[in-house]
Amino acid sequence: MDRMFFRYESFRQYLRLYPLTSMILAANLIVYLLMLLTGQPKDTDTLIRFGAMVNEPPYRNEYWRYFTSMFVHIGFEHLLFNGFALFVFTPPMERIAGRLRYLILYLGSGLAGNLATVLLSPDPFVSAGASGAIYGIFGAFLYLILLRKDLFDQSARTTVYSMLGLGLVYSLAVPGVNFYAHAGGFAGGFLLLHILMHASRRS
């Protein structure tokens, strides 16, 4: 793994260097602990109560779920997988893009993933997790690799391509994974960074 994606910081350094990523990780953990205290994280009623996405009435018009579902996870394994990806792979984007653009990227990508799920999923679903937002950060990395090659050495590019390849295989091969959220989040992150960079140039 390239040094860019190697987390060598102490706890205090991590909090200081990546405050938004730290807050997102903390929010995911707090929501999960609250779910444990009041129900079962894999139980449908608990997931819906804490803000998971649902495309059936009476929940499908509760648009706040497009955002709250990013912080809800379906069991510890789900939280652990997404938490690891957040902890290791997203911090460099917070430094590269800047905090405001990073926050827009993260939330916008998660929103894009949820929109894609609602528009493209043919079946009723209950969906939750940070993976749409995380795949959006991966999409933003790909955008930078293609258009700002000066920011990455060969080792970093190889790491990003490996992440994307493994992410694609995981999205397609593992049962129960929300492929629409991953694909929508990825496309959203790619396009959002393009918009943010051009807006920054104009200003």
Active site residue 162: no
Q: Are 126 and 52 within 8 A, CB to CB?
A: yes
Active site residue 198: no
> In sequence order, what are the residues at sequence separation of 6 or more whose Cβ sits closer than 8 angstroms to the Cβ of residue 120?
180, 184
The catalytic position among 73, 109, 127, 182 is 182
CA distance 99 to 41: 30
CA distance 72 to 51: 7
The catalytic position among 22, 69, 109, 131 is 131
The catalytic residue positions are: 131, 182
